Structure 1
């Protein structure tokens, strides 16, 4: 266990995470109203270098990051030291959550870009459910196979794009670095099996991964305009389902 200290600074939301932060801000406000507490208990499973954990701690919440990578936790410590807030860091896998943390002790659990890589997604989600108090919320962010097929086809990898659509795990082949991807329907089913009531699904990085970086670097205000576009499209019934990632909440 490491005590991590992090700096009070509010930054402009990055293009790729702006939609997620919009949802999380609403969740935090709702949980604080419901619990009557300004300081929520948050667990970031697989939180890595603290991209979400540090800003959440900066908002005054008690944040614990669990990650299997010592290097990621070391980077978290450095980021924490720069930001001058505290984050608790624990080394472990999703399967270890029940041993590392008490049951019914969290108001919010983040499960971002984790389900693609865990050995058993159902067990991982069930373990995360056990960490939450009644009425607690899980935030799930996962790779979408439809977007992967679109991106492979744009790159001229037509056979691989077709393979993604046909493969139960949404993979384009043995060399695919992502072990599995999730559609909106499969995420909602997984949440239900783990005992959650699924909430609204949002698309993340609908356009961001298609826009050349030179357009953002060379045009004043382009990044802000792209963020606004992503926010406007996040809940669109068609565009949402072709996003690079899908974001869904589950309530216990």
Structure 2
């Protein structure tokens, strides 16, 4: 593991963006080591493969990369990975995974807003997965991500989907369909602060010079199917249905998450 040189701290130390030091091990146990986590990885693998993005020779920056699960897969293919996160504990878990496979990794503890201080160059691929929804000003982060992508390069953006969130709330009897997370869950658990409208995200990316080449809903079948039915038909069939319908309208709009692969215009 390589750490980037230390830099002066950011002047704004009051940002309330969520730090997951307290939840890192819980995430590893309750999200990444579950069918939900595996389905997320399956969706990413398929999207990258379909767009012809392979790890060989890529310079990749994973912003808010957490434990680096998908970065690790691309590193196995030959990508050079730089990863930053606000959580020291998440970075430690990522470093342990890369070290176990003797793969190089450059890490830096910093926020998304400050990553350009440590990683000023541009990259073939920038990944930002399940981060925007935890920021107090998600749309302000998009230009910062865009600046790190090379001309012709890719932004892999995954975010918590407003439509999937609201539909889930309605199915649970909350017919007012709240557009934000329960305040208690925001403070105590892993409920994202700001579910995001994918149409608005796409419009913002277009304004920044990107074209969304892949739009996928993730867990558009899994999360809306009763556990008893998932158990009866088996996880493999659930996954196949999710991967299929996650690329189709209108079902992709019901995913718990949305994944965009957006290419920066040359």
Name the TM tier (shorter chain): 0.7 to 0.9
C-alpha change, 1:173 and 1:23, in structure 2 (3 Å) is same
Structure 2 unaligned segments of length 5 or more: list them. 4-34, 187-191
Matched, 1:175 2:184: yes
Matched, 1:108 2:141: no
CA contact (8 A) 1:188 1:198 kept: yes
Q: Alpha-carbon deviation of 1:216?
A: 5.7
Q: Which residue does the alignment assign to 2:48?
A: 24
Counterpart CA distance in 2 for 1:186 and 1:41 is 28
Q: Which residue does the alignment assign to 1:83?
A: 101
Q: Alpha-carbon deviation of 1:119?
A: 3.6
CA contact (8 A) 1:103 1:130 kept: no
Q: Helix, strand or coil for the counterpart of 2:132?
A: coil
CA contact (8 A) 2:216 2:252 kept: yes
Q: Helix, strand or coil for the counterpart of 1:202?
A: strand
Aligned match of 1:128 in 135, 145, 158?
145
Comparing 66-75 and 209-218, the one that deviates more:
209-218
- TM normalised by structure 1 equals 0.80
- TM normalised by structure 2 equals 0.76
C-alpha change, 1:135 and 1:31, in structure 2 (3 Å) is farther
Counterpart CA distance in 2 for 1:2 and 1:92 is 15
Q: Which residue does the alignment assign to 2:38?
A: 14
Q: Give runs of aligned pairs for residues 77-226 of structure 1, distance below 5 A.
A: 77-104=95-122, 106-159=123-176, 161=177, 164=178, 170-175=179-184, 177=186, 178-211=192-225, 222-226=234-238
Q: Alpha-carbon deviation of 1:42?
A: 0.6
Cα-to-partner distance string for 1:43-90 (whole Å, 9 max, x where unaligned): 111110111111111111001111000000011122222233122111
